[in-house]
Structure 1
Amino acid sequence: MSHARKAFHKRYLTITASAVVMAAVAAPAQAGPTPTVAEVAAKAETPSMFDDAAGGESSADDPAIWRDPNDPAKSLVLGTAKVGGLRVYDLAAHEVQSLPAPNAPSAEDKPGRINNVDVIDGANLAIATDRGRDKLVIYSIDRSRAEGPVKDVTAEKSAPYIFSADQDEVNKQATAYGLASWKDKKTGRIYAVVTQETANQVALLELTKEADGDYGYRKIRTIGFPTTFTLPNGKTWTPCEDPGEQPYLEGMRVDPANGMLYAGQEDVGVWRLRADLTGEPTLIDKVRDFGVPYTQDPATGECTPGEDPGFGGDHLTADVEGITLLDRTGGGGYVVVSSQGDSTFAMYDRDPAKGTPFVKSFRVVAGKGAVDGADGTDSLDIVNQSFGSAYPHGLAVIQDAPDTPTVTGDDGEPREGSNYKYVDLGDLSTATGLSFR
């Protein structure tokens, strides 16, 4: 979240909280029931990551679950660590492998920064965005591989910049950011949709397989998402961003059953559109501060919110972050969206014929022992299949930042950690009152 957006959301939440209190005092009899947020306890957590002493950033950001089709108990969780590369964990949340981020082309250039990762079902592949180098990184997954189950199989000569024209543009870091990928069941082709940091652009890529078995990719098309919106009162509104930035996207997921992409524009809401990036996107839900006017200090970029006109949604507090799908065994299921601003997760019925209505919200709270809950979540992944005795009903993995308790560094200063929480899908079903079978 940018500096300007942090300041705006902090002030907006303070103002709206005061308004809620005043309304409750003025007319308690007219106040409707407040929707309850279900609470589910985390069952396990991975080791914490911390910024290093040199000021780099090795922190948890985005998880992806790989289910071993031959032995589900040996399944893995992949988690991005930004400049720390990629981490691999087992079902006990123990780290089993650490892969470094790719090197920078030279000392003056930006190093690799693995931001988002996605597992390709049925292909034993994972794709990640390299935010530092504006590229994709492709990994193969083989649980029996002696040197480690995950291996970088990117064909560098066939891995062009995604949004940048040259290395100078890469160094400005308007680069590959969010990611969603899928395998077309009819053709066997593998695609990825990638967002651009600080801009509203989204690109569709297709993976290409080289003669030696490594993978590259080619760009098919790029589209831009709306940045200015017409409100019901006839006025136009643009979200508060740092100067020079556009309202951009990160969290995304493709539903292979119907070819629909769900994409989160962080300060706007959740969109639904065709995964091939054709046709017009539909905004299925908005953040609470959608349409709130503001004044921006030209010197600092900070935004001060004005009076809320009431055009926002009821379930998402900016930023809109991670998005995943929760399949139901009998068909259909839910779109699950991280509402980072209030550390909750909103669930929507993903049937487009129903208009993707809101169903339920939940939060992840502390479990047994030292396992804490999840706050300010960037991303999550959910798989509704058995993983053996550890997670017989399915598994959800959720990023947590900051992780608690806080650790003190050698300099006596607190170090903000981050990690991934594991949640039993059976516990989530019980907590929400929803059947996933």
Structure 2
Amino acid sequence: MECPEPNTGAMLSLVCLATLLVPSWVATSVSGLLIPVDSYAPSESKAPIAIHYSSGSSSDNAFFTSNITGTFAQGFPGLSNVAATTYAGDAKAVTVLYGQNAQDDLLVNLIIEDSTVVATSLRRNGNRPPNRFQLRLWGDYSTLCAVGSSFVYIFGKGSVKLIVVEQDRFNEVADFAVPVEAEACAATASGTVFFGGNDGAIYSFSGNNIQPGATVQRMNGISVDGEIAGLAIYETPTEPYLLVSVQSGTIEVFRTTQIAHHLSITVSAEEAELEGIAIYQRPLPNYPSGALLVSFDEDSGPKPQRRKGVGIASLSQLGVPLYTSFNPRSSLRNPRPHDRCSKNGFRTSNSQCICFAGYSGNRCEQRSCPNNCSSHGSCASANTCRCNTGWSGADCSYKVINANIETDANGGDGDDPAIWIHPTDRTKSRVLTTTKSEDGAGFALFDLTGHIVAQLPAGEPNNVDVIYNFPLADGRAVDLAVAACRDEDTICILEVTENGLSNLINLPTKDDFTVYGSCVYHSRISDKFYIFVNSKTAEYLQFELKPTLEVELVREFIGGNGGQVEGCVVDDENAVIFVGEEPYGLWKYSAEPDSGNDRILVDSIEGRLEPDVEGVTLIYGKTNNTGLILVSCQGVSAYNIYRRAGNHEYLGTFTISAGTVDRVTNTDGVTAVGTNLGLPGFENGLAVVHDDVNTAQDGTRQSGASFKLVGLGEILGAFSLLDEVDTDWDPRAR
């Protein structure tokens, strides 16, 4: 392969970038992502990356990355002396906030468990633990970036939160709307913040501003084809360059002043997926022009030889003005809290105070907490409640239910559960779960004590539902599990019994359709069976399932406002489907195939819901006008309860805390039945919920996923709702 000159506008592969660095004994391959072995740091997964410029020699510099066991500081592979150090837990995003002096530098993490932002001092104090402080955000957030020495922007579902670091504490300043859910962001030395998400578009705003929401704009001329996985800035004396890592395998380089595409660094989409990206603009041994770091995951070739981790390549081939004296401790000064605002807010040019969250008054002198802590707690500090025992939530309005049973740890990334009810002995009912990650991909079956009964590998199944007494063409009636399988974008169907899972088949959907979530429907009108499958783009497909186990597409529609969808559940008796739109709300449509697109909004994030709106389940009552709907809100790890019928009255919210097993965090799927399952604690039914961070008794995180089993009676009893469900409900009865 002949590598082109960098200034010709030709495509430049990472193989070419690495060629100058490859020892003579390392074989090159056009088909693989080639990172020389002396410039590669393995990790368990693709991850966000941040670089810390130390005030000492280059051997003291480090980069940060994260996996399920923590966030790690590492020296550049083979180049520096930094010992691997574990900081705060599993992070969605990580950045460095530079103080005016090196001793004030902070590592800032967005932690997955509770969308908590954690700041850790990077000052070395011998064997003493570093200073650390944190703030729980009570919402679903995806990435963050720093501006100057005290501003941190945290991106959520169509919104951004500005927080200010001041004297070892976080102050929430402002929330403002943005057009997308950002997957990555980066800031220039002058304070311009760039961000982008799944649609490939890039947006920006002025980050060194106490009212940044007014400056949000789309960067026409800067966009990529695919999902944005990471952003980084290369500073030069004349203009910053924006580097965009695209999940499918390319890194695109843009000029930000002239708004022009500069260069493509390509990695074959069949070879690797990318995530975090970072740039180091100082000379390093073998990298006199600086270094490009990229998090990657090879997905071709023999599995034992596939690489996953952080690779390093030279910046010399980027064809940009060489600038190796970049100092992140720039002259940029953030606005400071003002004395005339009691140092609890900023002062505008017209002498008005903009108070931090939890402060009010002309001089921001009055402290408050959300909803006065709902009379279930006390205001511990501005905007922070200390809840009484049995209550939780930002305003202490969530009832706490304890978890005492969990499934055996299994697979990698779990998602959605279903409950299979035994036809004759309810105590032998089973919990069916999915693992959607490559690690352990497939289905698992558990008994009601949480012990695994059976497993069946499958192509990364996501949401799962059960069809009872399905009439096969050979005359048999069987119980089927149905799921959307992401690996090959198919509908997975398998048979369920108390002893196992069998006869897996994969059915196609339609050309160029990428499956995500699914649910099933048995029509009381036609006695036909249907499968709903959705994609992240909110497209819903409705298929009729034939006795020959073939499907026919009978309907298509867009769910909600077009935001990302996944969870859904169908009320067979009332012929309606409830659709969760993750960034916005819960919708109701007719489930019949000849229906139009008329819909009703049940609730939204402007009401009682919190993003992400994830799992949705229905608990049947004794009539079609009684029963309940449960909806999981991932960002706050809580569950809303609504009436099944009428105007779907909101009845309350609960969260699941630690009992004899660990609490539920970053929850996804949920399912429940009101049927008496014949075991102590399950006389009024069972709820099963996904738990993302599975913590062992010693406090360490387990790699396998788990689901918590909670007696439905304990939940409903806390809200005086026991009479709303049917403990004799039989899914096989008409």
TM-score per shorter chain, which class?
A: 0.7 to 0.9
1:70 aligned partner, one-letter code: T
CA contact (8 A) 1:253 1:263 kept: yes
Whether 1:21 and 2:358 are equivalent positions in the alignment is yes
**Higher relative helix content:** 1
Question: What corresponds to 2:161 in structure 1?
Answer: 12
Whether 1:322 and 2:598 are equivalent positions in the alignment is no
1:114 maps to which of 439, 443, 461: 461
Structure 1 Cα separation of the partners of residues 162 and 604 of structure 2: 16
Whether 1:219 and 2:553 are equivalent positions in the alignment is yes
Post-superposition offset of 1:264: 0.6
- Tell me which of the two structures has the higher relative contact order, counting C-alpha pairs closer than 8 angstroms and 6 or more residues apart: 1
SS in 1 for 2:639: strand
Whether 1:93 and 2:480 are equivalent positions in the alignment is no
Structure 2 Cα separation of the partners of residues 35 and 193 of structure 1: 37
Whether 1:150 and 2:501 are equivalent positions in the alignment is yes
CA displacement, residues 39-67 of structure 1 (integer Å, 9 cap, x when unaligned): 111231012235xxxxxxx3211000000
CA contact (8 A) 1:273 1:280 kept: yes
CA displacement, residues 322-355 of structure 1 (integer Å, 9 cap, x when unaligned): 000122345512211101111110111121x3x2
SS in 1 for 2:517: strand
Question: What corresponds to 1:332 in structure 2?
Answer: 626
Length-normalised TM-score, structure 2: 0.44
1:386 maps to which of 676, 684, 690: 676
CA contact (8 A) 2:524 2:575 kept: no
CA contact (8 A) 1:396 1:423 kept: yes
Structure 2 Cα separation of the partners of residues 78 and 424 of structure 1: 17
Mapping of residues 335-354 of structure 1, within 5 Å: 335-351=629-645, 353=646
Length-normalised TM-score, structure 1: 0.72
2:484 maps to which of 102, 125, 129: 129
SS in 2 for 1:209: coil
Question: What corresponds to 2:406 in structure 1?
Answer: 45
Question: What corresponds to 2:693 in structure 1?
Answer: 402
List alignment gaps of at least 5 residues for structure 1.
51-57, 102-111, 228-245, 288-311
Structure 2 Cα separation of the partners of residues 13 and 253 of structure 1: 36
Structure 1 Cα separation of the partners of residues 574 and 449 of structure 2: 34
1:361 maps to which of 641, 653, 658: 653
Bigger mean CA offset, 174-183 vs 337-346: 174-183
Q: Which runs of 4+ in 1 moved over 6 A?
A: 1-4, 406-409
Which of 1 and 2 has greater Rg? 2
2:416 aligned partner, one-letter code: D
| Cα distance, 1:408–1:433 mapped onto 2, change above 3 Å | closer
SS in 1 for 2:449: coil
Post-superposition offset of 1:271: 0.8
Question: What corresponds to 1:430 in structure 2?
Answer: 717
Structure 2 Cα separation of the partners of residues 13 and 415 of structure 1: 33
Structure 1 Cα separation of the partners of residues 526 and 632 of structure 2: 32
List alignment gaps of at least 5 residues for structure 2.
1-90, 94-139, 144-154, 164-171, 176-354, 375-394, 471-478, 726-734
CA contact (8 A) 1:132 1:175 kept: no
Post-superposition offset of 1:35: 6.6
Question: What corresponds to 1:235 in structure 2?
Answer: none
SS in 1 for 2:718: helix
SS in 2 for 1:396: strand
| Cα distance, 1:30–1:149 mapped onto 2, change above 3 Å | closer
- Percentage of identical aligned residues: 29
| Cα distance, 1:30–1:40 mapped onto 2, change above 3 Å | closer
Structure 1 Cα separation of the partners of residues 368 and 696 of structure 2: 38
| Cα distance, 1:186–1:247 mapped onto 2, change above 3 Å | closer
Structure 2 Cα separation of the partners of residues 393 and 193 of structure 1: 29
Post-superposition offset of 1:122: 4.3
Mapping of residues 163-182 of structure 1, within 5 Å: 163=510, 165=511, 169=512, 175-182=514-521
